[in-house]
A and B are shown apart, each in its own frame.
Chain A
Amino acid sequence: GENVEQHPSTLSVQEGDSAVIKCTYSDSASNYFPWYKQELGKRPQLIIDIRSNVGEKKDQRIAVTLNKTAKHFSLHITETQPEDSAVYFCAATNFGNEKLTFGTGTRLTIIP
């Protein structure tokens, strides 16, 4: 089955700086990669996703890149703000499978 690894497990950045979280996956058949943000005690919230037919996707301060050859994808947050502090999870799946395999999460702390 699919295995997703996520790094780093914790990340602290100064407000205004950029944050990068990286994930690798094992199943070359995976073709859908969402990112979720989870604040303490709250639901995982889908913030951005990417399909394998594109290499990059951007939504305001958030971007995701995908390298299918190397089987890794990354989340980039620019101009970080205190409200970006949360745990971020990457996940992978393939169409027809649907069950998401999650990484272990990255606790992002924005230092004011």
Chain B
Amino acid sequence: DIQVTQSPSALSAFVGDRVTITCRASQDISNYVAWYQQKPGKVPMLLILGASMLQSGVPSRFSGSGSGTQFTLTISSLQPEDVASYYCQNYHSAPLTFGQGTRLEIK
């Protein structure tokens, strides 16, 4: 099985800051990575697919990069509505696996 390790587990930043979350896969998964945002009490929402493709309707301050084993989700200018947990997901092969999640808060 492909393990996915996400860091940090929690993050606090100021409005307007650039925020970066990292996901590392235990083996080469090409660009088969998705990122999700889950606001408190809500359903996870797909943000990015194919490591870097923004899902329709997602604000352009979100971006993804990486390939192989190292992936990054970046928020270029943090907004109050971005308070949420973020998860990466491997879909190179079953079992589908998620990172442990990153809880993002505003300072």
Bound pair (A, B): no
B residues whose Cβ falls under 8 Å from a Cβ of A: none
A residues whose Cβ falls under 8 Å from a Cβ of B: none
